[in-house]
């Protein structure tokens, strides 16, 4: 054999043996046990509410561990990851975690201690487990100023009627999302709200409830029942417009305690319009006091106003808890509101054309009759079942919007009315769209920290005093709810009140929950956008040719709102004594 061939063969043999050796060495190295670090944790704000989309960075011995996918917190602020490290890295190695998100102060590197060994598997890998909980502090970032300015701008535009309120809210929501997905794409500190969070901010329970009750009321309008109720109210007042206003407000307040206030206004508005037409009276002089009364009466029960539903669910309060604690003060507030509005609208009431009461009563009896008794019977049965579901929705864990949708669907099937016609003519779409867009604008302010700043201020100012905390929660909630939708504000305040209940002596009596309820519900009376019932009433009035501006409404409602909140303050102080 030639020397060249022998050399080539020897070379291949050496390479083969070298490859086997490397493979064997690699296998031995791969068989060495690893350290597996399992990190689970939660990131929350100072109120204890979980913060999602927080970036979590992990450092081992000073070097960042690069993960295949970015580690961020999920809904509720939870996160979990599993890292495979070289054997012997733990427990002596230094492990640090860093949390960061726009609108929050970066946490810096948090050193983890007491990393526990959980188990070893059959390969000898050591599993180390660590629970990491962290609280992020808010930062005044560009998103804070942007969201605050947009929210303020929307309210200014509405207040000075520069645009229709629905268009103003729509532009505000569009501006928040546009900034987030243009400038915010390149500069994260300008990302205010994601599309998913914007969609989630829309409270569909409120939207479904409004839409479904508009349908139910629209069907009932075809029976003549509202004209008949107008006749009965007029007969009861005996033609006295002052007495009529008091009766209408009282009925509205009482009914709102057992229905939600929005539904009550949807039912009462047609009655009011019919009776005011007969008296040649501006319907706003009756409708607006009714809207005020609906919010006062709705405060008395857990189902009367959305903030009460949220408070009752969070604090595990029952229907009778609300009635026992708030029923009497709501009656006092309702009486005060009746007296105030009779005085406020006395000039309008004197202009009403009553004429011969007996003659007008006979005329109304001829004109205002039940036109479809069969449909009325069906409507009342369906409405009764819907109200029953409202009352028992807690034990059933069913949202009131679901009950309303079911009632509306069943009523449309049984009545055999044209659903297209009902959707086109009976639903106040501008009002619903206004709600949806306003939810997004307020969510932007909440996400950027504006509402959180208000909650932090209340906590710091209380200084451990139950009296101070109670007064602050009541008045801050009232003023804020007049300008900021009380639903997201109440959601922000819930963990704060829960924390104060645990840290302030005597707060376990639950009085802070009642302060929050009275402030959020009664404060919503202050402006036309403070409560759902106000918006619905103004929307219906506008569609019938009776528009009212933001400032006109505020002039009419602000001072009686302050009176009812002041009465509530005295009541809570009396209860504490």
Is the predicted pLDDT of residue 492 greater than 80, yes or no? Answer: no
The count of other CB atoms within 10 Å of the CB of residue 283 is 22
Question: pLDDT-based confidence at 261, cuts 50/70/90?
Answer: confident
Residue 113 backbone dihedrals phi, psi, to 5 degrees = -120, 170
35-135 carries CATH number 2.40.128.50: no
Q: Does 168 sit behind a cis peptide bond, omega within 30 degrees of 0 on the bond before it?
A: no
Q: pTM value?
A: 0.76
Mean pLDDT score, 252-271: 81
The count of other CB atoms within 10 Å of the CB of residue 160 is 11
Question: pLDDT-based confidence at 310, cuts 50/70/90?
Answer: confident
What pLDDT, in 10s, does the model give residues 102-111?
888 888 888 8
Is the predicted pLDDT of residue 437 greater than 80, yes or no? Answer: yes
Per-residue model confidence (pLDDT) at position 5: 59
Question: pLDDT-based confidence at 442, cuts 50/70/90?
Answer: confident
Mean pLDDT score, 18-23: 50
Measured N-to-C along each axis, helices 241-256 and 284-298 cross at an angle, to the nearest 10 degrees, of 30
Q: How far apart are CA 341 and CA 370, in angstroms?
A: 31
Listed by start position, the domains of the chain span 35-135, 204-449+465-576
Q: How far apart are CA 93 and CA 62, in angstroms?
A: 10
Lowest mean pLDDT among 271-280, 290-299, 530-539: 271-280
Given the DSSP bridges, would you call strands 126-135 and 116-120 parallel, antiparallel or unpaired? Answer: antiparallel
What pLDDT, in 10s, does the model give residues 148-159?
899 889 888 877
Is the predicted pLDDT of residue 371 greater than 80, yes or no? Answer: yes
Per-residue model confidence (pLDDT) at position 3: 57
């Amino acid at each position: 054999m030639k020397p060249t061939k022998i050399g080539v063969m020897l070379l291949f043999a050496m390479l083969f043996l070298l490859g086997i050796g490397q493979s064997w060495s690699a296998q031995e190295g791969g068989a060495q046990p690893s350290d597996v670090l399992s990190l689970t944790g939660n990131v929350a704000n100072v109120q204890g509410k979980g913060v999602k989309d927080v970036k979590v960075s992990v450092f081992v011995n000073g070097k960042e561990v690069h993960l295949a996918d970015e580690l961020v917190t999920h809904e509720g602020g939870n996160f979990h990851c599993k890292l495979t490290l070289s054997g012997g890295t733990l427990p002596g190695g230094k492990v640090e975690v860093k949390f960061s998100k726009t609108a929050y102060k970066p946490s810096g590197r948090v050193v983890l201690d007491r990393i526990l060994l959980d188990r070893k598997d059959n390969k000898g890998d050591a599993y180390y487990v660590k629970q990491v909980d962290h609280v992020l502090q808010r930062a005044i970032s560009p998103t804070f100023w942007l969201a605050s300015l947009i929210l303020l701008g929307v309210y200014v535009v509405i207040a000075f009627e520069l645009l229709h309120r629905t268009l103003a809210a729509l532009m505000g929501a569009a501006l928040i999302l546009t900034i987030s997905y243009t400038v915010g794409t390149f500069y994260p500190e300008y990302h205010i709200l994601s599309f998913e969070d914007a969609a989630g901010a829309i409270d569909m329970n409120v939207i479904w409830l409004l839409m479904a009750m508009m349908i139910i009321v629209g069907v009932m309008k075809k029976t003549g029942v509202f004209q008949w109720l107008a006749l009965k109210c007029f007969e009861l007042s005996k033609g006295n417009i002052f007495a009529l206003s008091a009766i209408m407000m009282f009925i509205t307040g009482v009914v709102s305690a057992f229905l939600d206030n929005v539904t009550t206004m949807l039912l009462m508005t047609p009655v009011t319009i019919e009776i005011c037409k007969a008296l040649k009276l501006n319907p706003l002089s009756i409708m607006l006091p009714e809207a005020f009364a609906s919010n006062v009466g709705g405060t008395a029960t857990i189902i009367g106003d959305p903030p009460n539903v949220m408070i009752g669910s969070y604090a595990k309060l029952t229907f009778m808890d609300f009635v026992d604690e708030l029923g009497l003060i709501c009656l006092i507030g309702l009486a005060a509101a009746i007296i105030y509005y009779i005085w406020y609208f006395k000039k309008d009431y004197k202009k009403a054309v009553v004429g011969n009461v007996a003659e007008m009563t006979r005329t109304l009896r001829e004109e205002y009759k039940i036109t479809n008794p069969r449909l009325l019977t069906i409507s009342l049965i369906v409405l009764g079942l819907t109200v029953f579901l409202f009352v028992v929705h807690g034990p059933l864990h069913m949202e009131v919007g679901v009950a309303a949708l079911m009632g509306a669907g069943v009523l449309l099937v049984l009545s055999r009315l044209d659903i297209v016609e009902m959707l086109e003519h009976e639903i106040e779409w501008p009002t619903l769209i206004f709600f949806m867009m306003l939810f997004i604008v307020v969510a932007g302010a909440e996400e950027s920290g504006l509402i959180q700043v208000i909650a932090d201020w209340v906590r710091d100012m209380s200084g451990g005093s139950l009296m101070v905390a109670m007064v602050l929660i009541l008045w801050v909630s009232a003023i804020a709810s007049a300008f900021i939708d009380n639903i997201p504000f109440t959601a922000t305040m819930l963990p704060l009140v829960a924390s104060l209940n645990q840290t302030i002596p005597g707060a376990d009596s639950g009085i802070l929950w009642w302060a929050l309820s009275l402030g959020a519900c009664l404060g919503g009376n202050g402006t036309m956008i403070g409560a759902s019932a106000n918006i619905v009433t103004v929307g219906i009035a506008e569609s019938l040719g009776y528009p009212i501006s933001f400032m006109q409404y505020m002039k009419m409602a602000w001072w009686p709102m302050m009176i009812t909140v002041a009465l509530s303050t005295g009541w809570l102080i009396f209860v504490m004594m």
